[in-house]
Chain A
């Protein structure tokens, strides 16, 4: 059974600092991995999707890496801003069209 873990559960940084969010999964046989952002009281917004054959994916200040063999993904957010404060969730998909298995999330606070 796939288990996804995100450590730390919460993180507080001063504005301008780079953010590093970790995600680990127990079964390396994945189809792809997604990073989401969730604001309080809101649904999930997809940030990046990495295919199992890819090593990284970039969008603006966001960069996600994937090391499938070791069961790890890292989300980097450069030059953090107060607007980046949210909960970040990673999720893995075992097969095409299959469900997502989520980690517990990392709650991020960027202090001005």
Chain B
């Protein structure tokens, strides 16, 4: 099966500019996650969608970050305006809502990520 797709793979912007990332999850996966991974750290959840509804956005900096999943499939994460500390890899993951997957039980499958550099 096709994996999680993300674009672009790399993006360099200046601070105060805006940027958007796109994610296409594995077909049929109802749950979609956006994680931020700062260099040298583990990923941190920004937002979790179940179909097109938000399940958890407690760690999303809502003054500058926004995300949507309008039709319950693709998702877009936007940053406006960007700050230097937003430089990170943004990972998208998806999982089946019924606990399926190769190892079962809500295993998350990750995309290759988008590396953002803010100068």
Contact = CB atoms under 8 A, between A and B. Distances in A.
A46 B99 contact: no
A96 B104 CA distance: 11
The B interface is mostly helix, strand or loop, or mixed, namely loop
Contact of B99 (A41, A43, A89, A96): A96
A18 B40 CA distance: 24
Interface residues of B, number: 30
Interface size of A as a range: 20 to 34
A49 B103 contact: yes
B110 A49 contact: no
The A interface is mostly helix, strand or loop, or mixed, namely strand
Interface of A: 4, 6, 31-32, 34, 36, 41-46, 48-49, 51, 89, 91, 93, 96-105
B111 A43 contact: yes
Interface in B21-73: 31, 33, 40-45, 48, 50, 56
23 contacts: A6-B42, A31-B105, A31-B106, A41-B115, A42-B112, A43-B4, A43-B91, A43-B110, A46-B103, A48-B103, A49-B103, A49-B104, A49-B105, A89-B42, A91-B42, A96-B106, A97-B31, A97-B50, A97-B106, A100-B45, A101-B45, A102-B44, A104-B41
